[in-house]
Structure formats: structure tokens, C-alpha cells
A and B are shown apart, each in its own frame.
Chain A
Amino acid sequence: MNQRAFIAANVAFATAVVGGITAAWGYWNGRTDHVLGIGLAVALGGIGFGLVSWAKYLDLDEHVVQQREPLQTTPAEREDFAEEVEMTSATVGRRRVLTALFAGSMGALVVGFVGPIGSLGPKPRGELNRTGWGPGTRLVTTEGEPIAVDEGTFDQLATVFPEGEVGRDDSQVVLLRMQPDVLSERTIERGAIDGWVAYSKICTHAGCSVGLFGIDNRPPEVVRQLVCPCHQSAFDPTDSARPVGGPAPRSLPQLALEVDADGFLVARDDFDRPVGPITWDQA
């Protein structure tokens, strides 16, 4: 008999008793951060260790041989089964029309349940191609403040929404002001104003929010990038947010900007392309 395992089992169970009591003490004294959990862990682990030691002490490391029963079907069994199947087709399957009607009724039942499954969600009716932006919609911050065209700091990112729809998911936009001379011609053509550019904030890869803006000032040239934190797609904000790295296949749609009579930034129109990851129907 294994004396060491015997002692180990005794010690383990005794420790488990201490653990359980510690856990209870911890709970009543409000020490639920660590004491409760550690106490329970000691109780559980002690019981486990005790049981294994007990088994060891009993020296049950036995080697017993048991024969396997054959698993394969014997020819006799197979014949028996075939006979059973034959009998079924001779009795139940005799009425062809009845069988067909039964199958048809089951099929109709399935068809009948398609409707309720369809109720789980509405049919898409172009929602994915529209956002909250329209001609003259003001850009407002998450606090609802409009943005004056002459107030921005350069190279600072802000998240803006259409006025009255702050938080609307498909309309989130990153607004940036950069020195006008760093912007490419097409970026200006597509609606940058006075160094202000606005892009959809939804990554064209998998739809995360493109929330990181970085500037690399190291020579030879300054590099500005918008980066999606999820899968590290990078876009060039000075050139219509074209993808410059990572898995995103398309540029972030640009929101054409204008200035309204009060000197605040407004959208010229909705995006000219669907925002977010492209779907089958959005070629």
C-alpha cells in the first residue's frame, strides 16, 4: 500500500475542508474579490486531489483485459433487416397515392412555416444605400454642436453626425481639417472645403469604425493615415481616403461639403456610393 498517497489524500481532504470554510468566511466578511474564489478553488482542488490520491493509495493501477464484441453486422442480421424493410414496403408503402399525399402534406407544412421565419426581419428595401445625410444637412458633433468653417484645428479628427440624428450608425463621419495644399485634386473636387474633408467612418472592409488618425512626421515626407483598429486597414485622407494598406478593398465614401449662410459646414448631398462593406447587390 502506498503510504505517501494515503497521507496525501488525508491532507488534501483536510485542506478542502479549510477551503470551503474560508470561502464561507470570505463571503460573510465581504471578501468576495479573491478570498471567496480562492477558498472554493482550494475546496474543489482538494477534493479532486484527494480522490486521485485515494485511488493511488488503493493501488488500483490494474491491467485488466476485456474482449471487444464484434461491431460489424453479420449476414444473418442484414438479411433480417432486409426482410423487415420488405415487409414495410409491402404494407405501409402499398398505397402509392396515400404515401405521396402524406409527403406532400409534410412539404406544405414546411412551406407554411416560411412566413413566420420571414417575420424575423424586414426585407431590405435599399436601407443599405441610404444614410441620414442630404442636401444642406448640418454636420454636428456627438454633443450636437455644429462646426464653423473657420474654427477647426489642423490634423485633428472629429466624429460627426447629421443634425438631429446623432448616433445614427450608418451616418457616422470622420471630419478632418488639413492644410489645403496637402489634399489631392480629386479630393477637393469631390467636396473638400478650405482643408475640411469628411469621409464615412464605416470601414469598407468589415464595417468597424475607422477611429484612428495618425501622422508620421519623419522625413522625407509627412504621411497621414486613417486606420481601422479592427483589421488594420489604412486609408489616405489626403487622397479621397483610398485604401493604402490592409484588407479594405475600397476607399471610404467622401461626403461633399458646403458652407451654409451661417458659416457652418453642411453636406452637399448624401454619399454618392453605399457606405460600409460592399454586399452582393451593391456592385
Chain B
Amino acid sequence: MARGLVERYVDSVAGRTGGGTWLTKNLRKVFPSHFSFLWGELALYSFVVLVATGTYLTFFFEGSQEQVIYDGSYAPLRGEEVSAAYESVMRLSYEVKGGLFIRQMHHWAALVFVAAIALHMARVFFTGAFRRPRDLNWYVGVTLLILALGAGFTGYSLPDDLLSGTGLRITNAIILSIPLIGERLAFLVFGGEWPGTDIIGRLYPVHILLIPLLIFGLLGLHLALVWRQKHTQFPGPGRTEHNVVGERVWPSFAMKSIGLMFLTAGVIAAMGAVFEINPVWLYGPYDSGAATSLAQPDWYIGFLEGSLRLMPPWETRIGGFVINNIFYAGVLVAGVIFGGLYAVPIIERWLTGDDGEHHLLDRPRDAPYRTAFGAASITGMTILFVGGAQDLVARTFDMSVGHVTSILQVLFLVAPPIAFYVTVRTCRALSARPGPERTERRVPVERAADGGYGVPYDDADIDWMVEGGAAPGHFDEITEHAAVRGPHRHASTPRPGSDGDGDSGATAVDAGAEAES
């Protein structure tokens, strides 16, 4: 048979690197599938969109605070003194054909990126996937989250508009509040007293070079560790701590995953095309004497905004020195949150005394205290998030801002313990209730003429689910350690009790001959 073009090229590279068996082995690598495993992929693909759109933007953006007179096509601002950075963003949005679309795509992708990371992390936390040996990858992941927030905040600040400029000013104040080194550090970062003329020019290389480089490196490590340690899986028939049940990388996993990449990019493109985001022309250029009301940052900074708004006006005096309350709200709260995230595997190991390897995931209900702790944390973060928009809440419900603030302050102390208690009780109730065993395949249910429901299979076809064995024809071993789960059964092998119809949906998986190891 003639060899295909792709095959020939792959072979020519493999033949020069000794990668022949490695390649085949990895194409056959097995990935378990579950909808919740997609969040990490979603984050990865939004990062791809970010790099692609961001590169385009760098061709137009100018990272400079030099003052210029705006002379573009947006009439209300014409003749105003703006920074070169702001001017370049305006030019990109109004004069460059398609520039606004790419810019909005970039901003939406950033919001999706952080959201996907947060969901991915929640999945890993609630299923206990951070336990040994994946505690290592948890630390890499938390670092990636912090880098993503850093990338988001620096990018948000670059246009030098009134909203983001105010955010930078607050950042400056938070750095100033750090004990001992605050003033020196703020002067180093901002090149002197606020506002100075350096900060935009400094954030630019940090945003487009330093942070992306770190993300690339750690993302590579993150994926390499997943690849090396193999993915976790939910318990189910045929699934043990010593195997992975799922689909092979090629073609099924790869095809769906690449499909997801295009779908992600497609949805982000649709958002960029239809929904306006960060209209800097409405905020105006940064002007230190001005401020806007209803000043909410991008969603992922909301918890810090809320912590600043909800912190009572406490000032601590130590000797001849003073600690401002924004140090607690800005530095300490962030430190506790991210420090706590890093410490999750350590704390769980310490509390449970469990240092064993885990490859099977917990159902959240089966680890009530962990789940409750997560629920309490999310409750606290949500209250901080709402606190970041307490003026909007007050306006919506026609209350005074002061009252909303007091209510949220009390809730911040009271709600997490309540959430903890309720979650523990709920988990216990759920896990005590007998439920159906997890099944490998979804079973179609049909409604019969008499109004009842039934499974349109005969017993032979579904008894594997009840037994907890392998589905006829749907499992195949690609290993020599076949003894772990018994010899693989092909659909043609009649099973006891089967009436011979068991091969209806059989896929012949012909990989048994090639051992993984």
C-alpha cells in the first residue's frame, strides 16, 4: 500500500530522532473522559487565543505615557491631551480595520481564561485530584493561576484609561502600605512618586514577555506532568487505582480536543464581535484629578476590590510606625488566599494522615469536610466579590451603601461557617442515600406506549453495569498486565446469560498486541 504524505513526514522525523516507538505509544495513550475534565483544556485553548490575538495587538500598541493631542476619528475626545498608550489603543479601536474586534476578543479571552482556570481548580479540589502524586502539579497550577491574574491585571492597565489608571493608583497605595519597605518599593516599581511617567512602559514588557514566558514554561511542565502521571478517573466498573479507562489520544481524544479548541476560539470570537468590552473611549484618558463612579475592575480582581471596600477603617500603630488598613485588605487577604491554595495538599495530608497515591477521584459527597471547606471558601470569596460592587447592589435594591457594607461584613464572618455546616450535612445525606452505580455508557431510556419508562436493551446488554464488569466489546486492554482485570473480552465471546445479541454496539479495539510499557 502506498504510504501517505503525513505518514512519510512523521516517519522521516521519527527516523532521525529515534522517536518511533515513543510516538506510537503516545498516540495510544489513554485519557479518561468526563465533562469536568474539559475546564483545563478550555483554559489552555483560551491561552492560545490570547497569544494569537495579543501578538496582533502588540503591532499597534505603544507602551508610553508621553502626552500627545488626540486627533483621531472619535469626535468627543478630539483635541484632548492623552498618553501615547491611550492614543494607540484608540487608533487600534477606531482606525485599524478589525482592530477593535481583535482587541475585544483578547479581553474576552482573558476573562474566559481566568474563569476556566478557576473552574478547573475547583474540579481538582472537590474531587481530591490534588493528592499525591499530583500535589506537585497542584503547586504548578496555583502558580499558573497567579500568573494569569498578573497577566490579566497588567493587560487591563495598559490602555491608560481612567478606570485602569485608578486601579494602578490603588495598587500604588497598597504597595506604599507595606511595612518597612513600602515607600521604597513603590518608588522602585513606579519610578518615583505617583503617577510618574514610567509605569505603562514598564508594565508592557511584563505583560507581553515576562509573564507569558513564565506561563509557557509552567504550562509545559503542567501538561508534561499530566502526561507522565496520567489523568485521574472517577471510580466505575473496571476502573482501579492501577489503570486508566478511557479513549486513546489518537484519533478520538485529539479530534474532540482540537474540536474544543476551535469551539473555544469561535465562542470568544463571537463575544468579541457582538459584546462590547472595556470601551476606553467612554472612560476617557487617565487624569489624576478625576475619578469615575461605578468603578468595577475585571471580574477576577473583584475579590480584592471587595476586600478593600469591606475592611473596617482600622489602623495599627506600632512604635512610631503605622499599618494602614489597605495592607490587611490588599496584601494580607491576598496572601492568605494564595498561601492557602498552595497549602491545600499539605493541610489535607496533615488532617487525614493520608500520604498514599490516589488515581481514583473522590465524589465530592464522599469527602464531606473537604467539600465543606471548599464551599465555605467559595462563599467567602463570593461575598468579597459582591462587596466589590456594593454600590451597584445598594443602587439596585435602593439601600444605603453603608447598610449593604455592614450586611456584607457580617455575612463574611457568618456565612462561611453556615455553608460549611450545611455542606457537611448535605454530603452525608447524599452519600447515605443508595444511588445507581456509575455506569460506563449512558443508557438511553425510552418511554413506552403505556406511559412507563424502560431501557430498550435486553438484560444481556446491561448486566455488565450491574455486575461492575466490562461492557461487551467496549473495553480492551492495551497492556500485558491483563491479569489485573482479567483477559479482555471481545464482543464475539458469548458471555454467560447472554443471548448472543451482545455485539450490537461493539467496536473492535485492536491494540492489545502493543504493550504500553
Contacts and interface: CB of A to CB of B under 8 A. Distances in A.
Interface string B257-271: 011111111110110
B438 interface: no
A45 B252 contact: no
A68 B101 contact: no
Interface stretch (B15-23, B58-66, B149-157, B309-317): B309-317
B262 A48 contact: yes
Interface stretch (A100-108, A226-234, A263-271): A226-234
B243 A209 contact: no
Contacts of B326: 205-206, 247, 277
Interface in B186-227: 186-195
Contact of A34 (B264, B273, B313): B273
A65, A170, A245, most chain B CB atoms within 10 A: A65
Interface string B284-314: 0001111111110000000001001111111
Contacts of B447: none
Interface string A1-34: 0000000000000000000000000010010111
Interface stretch (A50-58, A91-99, A178-186): A50-58
Contacts of A32: 97-98, 100-101
B182 A172 contact: no
A40 B265 CA distance: 9
Interface residues of A, number: 84
B357 A277 contact: no
Contact of A232 (B170, B309, B488): B309
Nearest to A50: B259
A18 B67 CA distance: 45
Contacts of A177: none
Interface stretch (B69-77, B336-344, B468-476): B468-476
A50 B258 CA distance: 11
B442 to A, nearest CB: 10
A276 interface: yes
Given A47-B262, A121-B188, A36 B323 contact: no
A124 B256 contact: no
A250 B170 contact: no
Contacts of B272: 37, 41
A181 B282 CA distance: 40
A124 B183 contact: yes
Contact of A278 (B256, B322, B441): B322
A64 B262 contact: no
Contacts of B511: 64
Contacts of B474: 62-63
B173 A277 contact: yes
Nearest to A62: B247
B270 A38 contact: yes
B187, B274, B308, B481, most chain A CB atoms within 10 A: B187
B484 A67 contact: yes
A62 B252 contact: yes
A158 to B, nearest CB: 11
Nearest to B326: A206
Interface in B467-496: 470-471, 474-479, 481, 484-485, 488
A148 interface: no
A38 B273 CA distance: 6
Interface in A213-243: 228-234, 243
A139 interface: no
B105 to A, nearest CB: 8
A277 B265 contact: no
A146 interface: no
Contacts of B322: 278-280, 282-283
Interface in A61-84: 61-69, 71-72
A280 B183 contact: yes
Given A51-B258, A52-B256, A65-B30, A229 B251 contact: no
Contacts of B311: 247
B289 A121 contact: no
B358 to A, nearest CB: 12
B172 to A, nearest CB: 7
Contacts of B255: 51-52, 54-55, 58, 60
A117 B189 CA distance: 10
B273 A159 contact: no
Contact of A68 (B169, B173, B244, B507): B244
A249 B269 contact: no
Nearest to B511: A64
A248 interface: yes
B173 A206 contact: yes
B321 interface: yes
A54 B254 CA distance: 12
A162 interface: no
A172 B195 CA distance: 13
A27 to B, nearest CB: 6
Contacts of A47: 259, 262, 266
B173 A201 contact: no
A99 to B, nearest CB: 30
A206 B175 CA distance: 10
A229 B294 contact: yes
Contacts of B89: none
22 contacts: A32-B101, A40-B273, A44-B265, A48-B264, A49-B259, A58-B252, A63-B441, A65-B488, A66-B479, A67-B243, A128-B176, A128-B183, A159-B289, A167-B287, A205-B308, A208-B170, A208-B291, A230-B291, A247-B308, A247-B329, A249-B325, A283-B320
